[in-house]
């Protein structure tokens, strides 16, 4: 597998930190919104929307 660049690793760590922060908040609305946004983002990525916009 290809190793990630430093910037890619930093963005990944930031996303993980945001997930942890959201779960630690205990706010069910915030947790649900975060989960929904991740699902929608992954669906759009699989559909090729991001690549079409910025690729």
Q: What pLDDT shows up at residue 3?
A: 84
The pLDDT of residue 55: 73
In a domain, 13, yes or no: yes
**What pLDDT was estimated at residue 6?**
95
**pLDDT the model gives residue 4:** 85
- Residue 2 sits at φ, ψ, to 5 deg, of -75, 140
22 is a domain residue: yes
1 part of a folded domain = no
* Domain contains 41: yes
Which domain, by its residues, includes 30?
A: 6-54
pLDDT in tens, 1-55: 678 899 999 999 999 999 999 999 999 999 999 999 999 999 999 999 988 888 7
| Tokens, residue 28 | 């069910």
How many domains, in total, are found in the chain? 1
pTM surpassing 0.85?
Answer: no
37 domain residue, yes or no: yes
Residue 36 in domain: yes
**pLDDT at 2 (0 to 100):** 76
* Vertex 13 angle, CA 16 and 10, to 5°: 155
> What region, left, alpha or beta, does residue 48 occupy, with left being phi > 0 and alpha being psi -120 to 50 degrees?
left
């Amino acid at each position: 597998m290809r190793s990630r660049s430093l910037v890619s690793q930093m963005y990944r760590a930031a996303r993980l930190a945001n997930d942890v922060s959201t779960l630690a908040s205990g706010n069910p609305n915030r947790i649900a919104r975060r989960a929904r946004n991740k699902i929608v983002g992954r669906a759009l990525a699989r559909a090729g929307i991001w690549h079409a916009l910025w690729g």
